[in-house]
Chains A and B, each alone.
Chain A
């Protein structure tokens, strides 16, 4: 069974700091990878996704993630965070054969202090 591990439960940064959230998955076959964000009181929104091609994926709001197959990782990055990035971030994976079942990590709560 596939699983997703997010290294940090809670990250606290100051505005303009750089962000990197770790995500590792366990699955030996073809995977599709996602980062979702949940702002306070709002629904889950897709930040970015990787299906194939360039392992460096750019998403909305200046976020990007790099798929490193040899490390089973899909870390999320942003060069300069803003107070409005305060939210919970979820990494998710599904196996190539099933587009409709997502396995999520436990989430990382990001707090950005102004």
Chain B
């Protein structure tokens, strides 16, 4: 069974640009969430989607957005990139329902120069 797959794995962008990251959840998982990991702030929750609807949102500016498609695949977008957006972006998926394990992908490393 394939795990959570994220693309691209590594990318470099320039300040002011925008970026789109993609996530394919484990087959059958309808909940997809995104986290930002940095050395200073650690792992921080960005948002969570279920059945194409955003259910939870973390404390990030509106430049961070996401969406989920009918096949549960998800994308997150960051517009007007800042140097501080350099981070590892992790996608996670789980089955619907209480008590299910959240599985993480390997992440997308974003460097903003």
Chain A proximity of B72: nearest CB distance (Å):
13
Residue of A nearest to B94 (CB): A100
Asked whether A58 is an interface residue with its Cβ less than 8 Å from the other chain, the reply is: no
Q: Are A99 and B99 in contact (CB under 8 A)?
A: yes
Per-position 1/0 for B81-103, Cβ under 8 A of A:
00000000010101001111111
For chain A, what secondary structure do more than half of its interface residues adopt (helix, strand, loop), or is it mixed? loop
Instruction: Report yes or no: A43 in contact with B55, Cβ–Cβ below 8 A.
Output: no
Q: Does B31 make an interface contact (CB < 8 A)? A: yes
Q: Convert B33-51 into 0s and 1s, putting 1 for each residue whose CB lies closer than 8 angstroms to a CB of A.
A: 1010000001111001010
For the complex, give the distance between the alpha carbons of A101 and B59 in Å: 12
- Residues of B22-74 contacting chain A, CB below 8 A: 31, 33, 35, 42-45, 48, 50, 55-56, 58
Residues of B within 8 A of A104 (CB): 35, 42-44
A-side contacts of B4, CB under 8 Å: 43
- Counting residue pairs across A and B whose Cβ atoms lie within 8 Å, the total is 57
Contact present for A101 and B56 (CB under 8 Å): yes
Are A100 and B33 interface neighbours, CB within 8 A? yes
Interface centre among A32, A45, A51, A102 (most CB of B within 10 A): A102
A106→B99 CA distance, assembly (Å):
23
Q: Contact at A100–B105, with CB atoms within 8 Å?
A: no
Interface of B is mostly: strand
Cα distance A46–B106 in the bound complex, in angstroms: 13
Known: A43-B105, A43-B107. A99 touches B98 (CB 8 A): yes
| A100-B31 contact, Cβ under 8 Å, with A49-B101, A51-B99, A105-B42 | yes
Interface residues of B (CB under 8 A from A): 3-4, 31, 33, 35, 42-45, 48, 50, 55-56, 58, 90, 92, 94, 97-107
A-B pairs with beta carbons under 8 Å apart, 17 shown:
A34-B102, A36-B104, A42-B106, A43-B3, A43-B106, A44-B104, A46-B102, A49-B101, A51-B98, A92-B43, A99-B97, A99-B99, A100-B33, A100-B48, A102-B43, A104-B43, A106-B42
**Minimum-distance CB pairs A-B, first 8:** A104-B43, A44-B104, A43-B106, A106-B42, A100-B48, A101-B56, A43-B104, A99-B98
